């Protein structure tokens, strides 16, 4: 599985794409594969402030509960409400329909500290 090259990644297995100062955040294919079947996703309310590397929610699978960490700091503009009723979207389409939050970024230059797809794949041994 190759991870999309149009985004940046964290060592905690989140991804982010950025357009017009807004970052869309989710977890990677590798992360959902390690978790197993996702049964519940807890996300923050719109208007919440998140820190770079700070926890913004949890994802619960049949195997475990894992914290979700924001790649960058900013204000949550939108959460993916579809995950309330269909948490399995995280497994089915982690880089697309399974996105989690949209954040108005406080400082886009922080992107430079994140991993590109090649570096992320080296991290996870692909």
- Tell whether 103 is covered by a domain: yes
Helix (H) or strand (E) holding 103: strand 101-105
Q: Are 39 and 126 in contact (CB under 8 A)?
A: no
Q: Does residue 1 sit within a domain? A: no
Instruction: Determine, yes or no, domain membership for 65.
Output: yes
CATH (domain of 20): 2.40.50.100
Per-residue model confidence (pLDDT) at position 1: 63
pTM of the entire structure?
Answer: 0.96
Residue with tokens 């996105």: 99
The answer to whether residue 13 is domain-embedded is yes
Domain that holds residue 76: 8-111
- Tally of domains within the chain: 1
Residues in the chain predicted with pLDDT less than 70, given as ranges, are 1
């Amino acid at each position: 599985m190759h991870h999309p090259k149009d985004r940046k990644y964290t060592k905690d297995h989140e991804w982010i794409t950025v357009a017009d100062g807004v970052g869309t955040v989710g977890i990677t294919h590798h992360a959902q594969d390690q978790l197993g079947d996702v049964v519940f996703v807890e996300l923050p309310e719109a208007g919440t402030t998140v820190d770079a590397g700070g926890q913004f929610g949890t994802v619960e699978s049949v195997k475990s509960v894992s914290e979700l960490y924001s790649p960058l700091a900013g204000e949550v503009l939108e959460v993916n409400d579809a995950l309330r009723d269909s948490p399995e979207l995280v497994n089915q389409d982690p880089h697309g329909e399974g996105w989690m939050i949209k954040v108005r970024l406080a400082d886009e230059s922080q992107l430079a500290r994140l991993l590109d797809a090649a570096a992320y794949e080296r991290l996870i041994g692909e």
